[in-house]
Amino acid sequence: MAFTTNPLAAVVAAESARLTETGAATIDLEQLRKVVDTMVPFNNHVGVRVTGLSAEHGQAELPVRGELENHFGTVHAGALFLAAEVAGAAAFSGAMAPRILQLQGFVLRSSKIAFLKPGKGHLRARATIDKTATDAVLARSNAERFELSGVAVLHDDADVLIARVDLDYVAWMGDAAA
Residue 144 has pLDDT above 50, yes or no: yes
Mean pLDDT for the stretch of residues 13-19: 73
Domain that residue 36 falls in: 7-173
- CATH number of domain containing 71: 3.10.129.10
- Tell me which H or E stretch contains 91: helix 77-95
Give the bridge partners for 149, in sequence order.
Answer: 168
Q: How many CB atoms lie within 10 A of CB 110?
A: 10
- Note the pLDDT tens digit of each residue in 50-94: 999 999 999 999 998 999 999 999 999 999 999 999 999 999 999
Please report, for residues 42, 88, 140, 142, 170, the alpha-carbon distance to residue 153 in angstroms, rounded to integers and kept in the order given.
21, 10, 30, 32, 21
Question: Domain for residue 178, yes or no?
Answer: no
Question: Domain for residue 47, yes or no?
Answer: yes
Question: Domain for residue 2, yes or no?
Answer: no
Number of domains into which the chain is organized: 1
pTM above 0.75, yes or no: yes
Mean pLDDT for the stretch of residues 121-147: 94
pLDDT band at 100 (very low <50, low <70, confident <90, very high): confident
Q: Are 61 and 53 in contact (CB under 8 A)?
A: no
